[in-house]
Amino acid sequence: MYKKILVAVDGSVTSLSGLNEAIRLAKATGSRLLLVHVLNTLILETEIASTAYYQALAEEIRSSGLKILEHAAMVARDAGVPFEQQMVEKIGAHAWKEIVAQASDSGAELIVLGTHGRRGLKRLILGSDAELVLRHAPVPVLMVRDQSLE
């Protein structure tokens, strides 16, 4: 069925729900997971921050991203599911674009995302990376909503 499933991880409860669903699917189909974390570096504008501040903040964001990937790897490893890890680090990266690009570049056949399921004004204000991935993905997308948020 699926040989490679891309799972976007960001450390949130919804992301963990997506990872757990991807693990269940991988076990059932014999798939390999590609764990992807996109560093949110949009906030790093070097013209408004000192070099020392910029470097410290960039290192903190990078360290946090590595911890998120390592936690996802630990969950996959404990479940006995084969996986790869990929951290995407680009200045000005938009998570949805990088997830779509990773799916294309890696040969993933499915994308699994946790989603908050926001509606109305919250969705307009906060945006929806999951919705944009769904609209632009080159492969099927499974969006998993964390039921504990209801």
Q: Where are the domains of the chain?
A: 14-149
Please state which CATH class domain 14-149 belongs to.
alpha beta
65 in Cβ contact with 8 (< 8 Å):
no
pLDDT tens figures, 64-123 = 999 999 999 999 999 999 999 999 988 777 889 999 999 999 999 999 999 875 554 444
> pTM (2 decimals)?
0.85
Count CB-CB contacts under 10 A for residue 76.
24
Helix (H) or strand (E) holding 100: helix 95-106
14 in Cβ contact with 115 (< 8 Å):
yes
Distance separating alpha carbons of residues 124 and 108, to the nearest angstrom: 29
- Answer yes or no: is pLDDT of 43 > 70: no
- Answer yes or no: is pLDDT of 42 > 80: no
Percent of the chain with pLDDT over 90: 63
